Homo-oligomer: A and B are copies of this chain.
Amino acid sequence: MTEPMMKTVALVGTGVIGRGWIQVFSRAGCHTRIYDTDASQIEKALAWFEENLEQDVADGVLSTQEADTHRSLVSAHRDLKEALSEAEYIQESGTEKLEIKQAIFAETDKAANPSAIIASSTSGLDMNDIAKALPGISRCIMAHPFNPPHIVPVVEVMPTKKTKPEVVKRTVAFLKQVGQKPVIVNFYISGYLINRIQAAVVREAIHLVQSGVADVDAVDTVMRDGLGLRWALLGTFGVNNTNADGGVREYYRRFGESYKAIMRDLDPTPPSFDTEMIERIGQGVDTMEGGAPISEICRWRDRMVRKIRTLKEEDLHP
Question: Is A15 close to B, CB under 8 A?
Answer: no
Per the bound structure, the CA–CA distance linking A194 and B199 in Å amounts to 16
Within the complex, what minimum Cβ distance (angstroms) separates A189 from chain B?
5
Q: Do B281 and A221 touch across chains, with their CB atoms under 8 A apart?
A: no
Q: Do B198 and A200 touch across chains, with their CB atoms under 8 A apart?
A: no
A199-B259, A260-B270 given; A235·B224 CB < 8 A: yes
Q: How many copies does the complex hold?
A: 2
Q: Do B200 and A227 touch across chains, with their CB atoms under 8 A apart?
A: no
> A201 — nearest CB in chain B belongs to which residue?
B236
Per the bound structure, the CA–CA distance linking A253 and B216 in Å amounts to 18
Number of interface residues of A (CB under 8 A): 110
When the two chains form the complex, which single residue of B220, B277, B295, B317 contacts A237, counting CB atoms closer than 8 Å? Answer: B220
Within the complex, what minimum Cβ distance (angstroms) separates A313 from chain B?
12
Per the bound structure, the CA–CA distance linking A139 and B165 in Å amounts to 64
Per the bound structure, the CA–CA distance linking A238 and B194 in Å amounts to 17
Per the bound structure, the CA–CA distance linking A45 and B285 in Å amounts to 41
When the two chains form the complex, which single residue of B156, B223, B230 contacts A197, counting CB atoms closer than 8 Å? Answer: B223
Per the bound structure, the CA–CA distance linking A196 and B134 in Å amounts to 45
Question: Is A231 close to B, CB under 8 A?
Answer: yes
> A293 — nearest CB in chain B belongs to which residue?
B318
Q: Do A219 and B193 touch across chains, with their CB atoms under 8 A apart?
A: yes
